[in-house]
Amino acid sequence: MLRQADLRKREKALCAKISARLSCFRAAGRRGGRKLFRELSFCILTPQSRARSCDQAINALAEKGLLFKGDASKISRVLSKHTRFHNNKAKYLVLAREKYRSRGFSQLADDTFSGSEKEARERLVKGVKGLGMKEASHYLRNVGRGETVAILDRHILKNLVSCGAIPSVPKSITKKKYLEMERKMEKFCQRVKIPLSHLDLLFWSEETGEIFK
């Protein structure tokens, strides 16, 4: 089991880099609707796919002029080179774009920044097909709203088990289970005096060797 003192030591060593990355996320959120949609699209692609591959997919779509204009079939062909479940994800991306594209994606900005982070997450989960609790939390963090929501994928849960924050990784994660695990992560963060947003990036740096998104 990873000792809490060791975890705090690692966080202290990476604190400046983590803080800088979080500042970048906040800056991204301030850039407006199209940037928000780009980050939302990235998070729609992430289930069972690597973050770097999803980022490459978004870049490829943008370069080909498909992210804001392409139909699902053209988007799917690009995604097939980078992500799993490319057909469904292409459909979800187009549905989200059609939902939000009017008035420069201003409704997406409203849904993202109105109310608390948890209220925003609830709106996004209900309103964006293909976006679950984890993906909505990921999106909010990537646009500067990640102080109170946790991105609970299996890598993070595995690390929480290693730290003694939770007893085991659940076989399936319902919304109720997700919220339960999130509360346990919050309490653990309070005990070790590491912000929730920092702990997520710290765990990912341990997994991947980099602080990405």
Q: Which residues are catalytic?
A: 134, 153
Residue reference for tokens 């591959």: 53
* Residue 157 main-chain phi, psi, to 5 deg: -60, -40
Cβ 86 vs Cβ 80: under 8 Å: yes
Report how far residue 151's alpha carbon sits from residue 49's, in angstroms, rounded to the nearest whole number. Answer: 15
Interhelix angle 4-30/33-45, rounded to 10 degrees, is: 130
Q: Which amino acid is at 14?
A: L
* Residue 52 main-chain phi, psi, to 5 deg: -60, -40
Cβ 96 vs Cβ 43: under 8 Å: no
Query: 110: Cβ–Cβ under 8 A, 6 or more apart, which residues?
Result: none
Query: 14: Cβ–Cβ under 8 A, 6 or more apart, which residues?
Result: 201, 202, 205, 211
